[in-house]
Structure 1
């Protein structure tokens, strides 16, 4: 039986204003919730510092400093910070709620991106970082997990939680490295120093990962990855993905130079270089790169992103306390003129840093913890339950939710999020997908069946079962309505039923006066053709036969043939047995919903003249006189659309 560990904050109201509705993510320093600001009636994100950290005055000061730093940034590509509050033991931030997914989610789904797609994501990221750098702020934790992509495709940089004013950087507690191992610049590993150029390095690593689907430095341990950042240059991405332009290799190499002075001096410079490369790429470069890649490997699927140990998680690691160490040359060779004593000093410094770094990583990744698997998103529910059970974790299944990311029945979200650390025996909540997010059913009424189906497919829907119904206003073979109705919302995973017009039902006019029968049929928009023959046993000018037969479906403009009995006349045709005063008023046919051509033909064949008023569309939406009324023969009928 599944068990659940209820979050005590869900349902509470913080500071008398923010009602916590659900938990969406948990990191090493804080937990993020969706909440409602009851004062302004809007959805917000609430970031609550972990209770054990709230007791650390220095950390609280850093956390509050985050609010001041991020609130000072007003940029469309930065997640906005609205407020910072304290409610009892809870210290929290109020931030913009950004529905959507992370760049990590996108990489997990697609494996890697083409050159144009990668640069089109990097440019707003660099614009956001550039705004921070101009304000004297350093993000310190640039990675795909901190890049959000909204439902309409807007890119926003999140979690400036480790950013602080560059001028206050020297007040940081001595010997602390803050960042994520897979994206650490060499100077961060060696001394813990961080400025705007460390953000540039991390962004360069992220660009490499977008282009190749993996981080540039791999290793069995986080320590091995950190060592490579110090001692090895980031390889050209074209080594991993053939066909990538050399301009991208040069851009990645420039951003990830091991010497900070050789990199772009802030994200603004990096953005200018990236925009220049993007502008010079051929329009079809993404397709060409994919073709080149497939031509070199037998594997048809793009590689999934590979996270080096510790590569996707933020870590706070002790650095060597011997002060800044010399950074090796860009090509990895020893500097000229360096003697044996100098090399021994470097080896000793590296050894101390390695030991301290290894101890910190061991402490964070010791056996009492596990991680929610990254690949769990998109798995079938049964497979995901088994994987978590095998890892010693409890499982709770939440009600299914709509998701455009995964298919119906697959895992759409987890709590904690994929990649988060969890203790053995802790509960992971799985949220299955119940299909794609509902959207409005398009209006296909009055459209021919095949055109209506095409319109539904263009909007992501699949046409479903078809049925027919008679209609006086919709032509035969065109759509009368959909189920659900136009404008209602439905998941595209559910088919849309189509109700198709079988046309008007042909009335029985056999035995009726031919003139009255013809007027009635013309008022329905039908073309009436009359053939005559003599039948002495029946009154003259009556309908003997009709085609189509009564009850047959017909549409405006269809031809109807009536066989009419010839009149019996005396005295040279002056007196006939069925002469009568038929009057000058005729029924007005209904033409609303018809095309203008069909409407004009129906009205003229019924004995009326036609005037067209305003015409904004291709179908009639109004007429005067109204259908069903009578009007003088030859009167002008106005139609508009």
Structure 2
């Protein structure tokens, strides 16, 4: 029956751009359609979330976030995510349309694979997962339904990160663990937590299934299976398929270790060991293993091409069931026929294996481990010396190496590669960004300690005057607190030089005391005779003009003694020039050029005390006080 005709979305245009042409799959999370991108004139796959999920705001928020992360992945073994949109009640994802079938289809048809064929499929799967792990993305739902085999034989992994959105949404509602229970890592069962090592566990289970044709644990309920993942040990594949080599058993055992710390630390590390074991198997190993099994009928030597009906496999993260005709398969008729097929397959595999060996023997190498940490030019020279081609990939953050050094390669270091193969270099753009802490008000020593405890190094110390931050205390950092920067980028400290003591020479005692008191300073006066100066005139000061002080510091003014006729009456206290004093203009916040024009037009002269920025942040005398015409106004910036 053609389900498309009964689907109300078929024939509609979503977001004014994507015309739905036919329905090809329906699962627990979404319905998948073939659509036409009217803007770019290309065929795409559209995954439309089911209404009950689209109505869940938390699910939609997570789904959009995971879709953005998945869209950032660019790798030949990853199903590309083109777009994520919402059109009314429809929340949907636009993806690359892959013509082919799923790995589940292949297993259904062939029962299981030989070890070489299984490892050949695992390598592109792990390469795709490795690219995601480098980008900080966890798949969370590795299984045969999420692995596509395209018409040209290319292996692609789909639905990166989407399981997280669904799982989080359902956990919010029910508190239950949701997922494909046959592939759940112990930590997912026990805590719900998943990281890159959880993907490695699922990949180990996938390898077990490819080798044996079944999952390691079976039970009457999902809970029974989950209990075995949390408490059991995955059996060796050779217990079910005698003749499988010990290194293959070891691959499965390490990847499915109950303790995540005992597994390869990401898919790239697992890929390196898989490639090593694959390289150690004879080209005809699968054929010889098949021939040694009485009545063996379904062991693959190489992945078979997709079915000739032209159907398209697009996955749903909940159950991945592709639409279309059921997989081809069935028992062979008669034991004589079975033996004939096995014999023909064995001979063909031996001939093919000999041809491959003749063609490529001696032409394999490994990606050198020492590439990590090299400069790109040196790494390129090293790889080309091994007969490999090199290209530059995306830059990545890495805490392992410094900016400008090779942080990762694709394939990963240690992976087995053939001569002439292209190695992609991913150069570090710095250590993983962290938030610069707030050091305001700390001493230089304390500020340094705090920055270094967060992984930063202090790249320099400068000072600025401040009326609010005490002398010797931190004003801020450059970059400013709260900014996320790479930890190999130096962070500069800006320390307070305090308030700058103005030059009060020639001022009357009263005006000088008023100016200093307004700055929050403790003022003391002391007499000092100086010929030619009227009484009550400032002739010296301590600290000297331009010195840095903090609120509460003491400043001593040296003033000429007053000349009084009778006691303290009729004194010459320097007020004789009061009529020559004019208001001091405010230039705080102005550019230095504008400040000079304002000061000079008011009858004063301008002197620059300190200048770090482009604008005036302080001045003496202070704004709106009075000073003798022709005097100096000192500005700071």
Which TM-score applies when normalising by structure 2?
0.47
Which TM-score applies when normalising by structure 1?
0.46
